[in-house]
Amino acid sequence: EAQVTQNPRYLITVTGKKLTVTCSQNMNHEYMSWYRQDPGLGLRQIYYSMNVEVTDKGDVPEGYKVSRKEKRNFPLILESPSPNQTSLYFCASRLLPGELFFGEGSRLTVL
């Protein structure tokens, strides 16, 4: 089954404790992206990657890092999480210029 898999789905952490949200896709898509979703603000892009070792900032990259060492994986790293990073995060992939396929989301709470 074609899918985008994120882990963890739910996480509560404390300010400053580094965390990684993993994302994996099995569709051989070159393009992958991370979004955060906040009430009233819709989906905002954090980072995207056109291919292995090629990443670029989206609209809200501050406080996040990503890496793309393999085509299927695109982890999101929060080096020092802060409460304003409490949000619902989505990983997505696509075969350009087609639709985005989304994961099920990771709900992160930073205390």
Partner 1 sequence: GESVGLHLPTLSVQEGDNSIINCAYSNSASDYFIWYKQESGKGPQFIIDIRSNMDKRQGQRVTVLLNKTVKHLSLQIAATQPGDSAVYFCAENPRRVDMRFGAGTRLTVKP
3-state SS assignment for residue 94: strand
Interface residue with partner 1, options 24, 103, 108, 110 (CB under 8 A): 103
Name all contacts of 95-102 with Cβ < 8 Å and 24+ positions apart: 95/27, 95/29, 95/30, 95/31, 96/30, 96/31, 100/33, 101/2, 101/3, 101/4, 101/25, 101/27, 101/29, 102/4
Distance of closest approach, residue 63 Cβ to partner 1, in angstroms:
19
Distance of closest approach, residue 23 Cβ to partner 1, in angstroms:
11
* Residues 12 and 29 sit within 8 Å (Cβ to Cβ): no
Based on the shown chain and the rule CB under 8 A, indicate whether residue 100 belongs to the binding site for partner 1. Answer: yes
Binding-site size for partner 1 (CB under 8 A) equals 25
Based on the shown chain and the rule CB under 8 A, indicate whether residue 90 belongs to the binding site for partner 1. Answer: yes
- The footprint of partner 1 on residues 25-84 (CB under 8 A) is 31, 33, 35, 40-45, 48, 50, 58
The region of 14-22, 63-71, 79-87, 101-109 touching partner 1 under the rule CB under 8 A is 101-109
Burial of 1 (0-12, 13-18, 19+ CB in 10 A): exposed
Residues in contact with partner 1 by CB under 8 A are 4, 31, 33, 35, 40-45, 48, 50, 58, 90, 92, 96-105
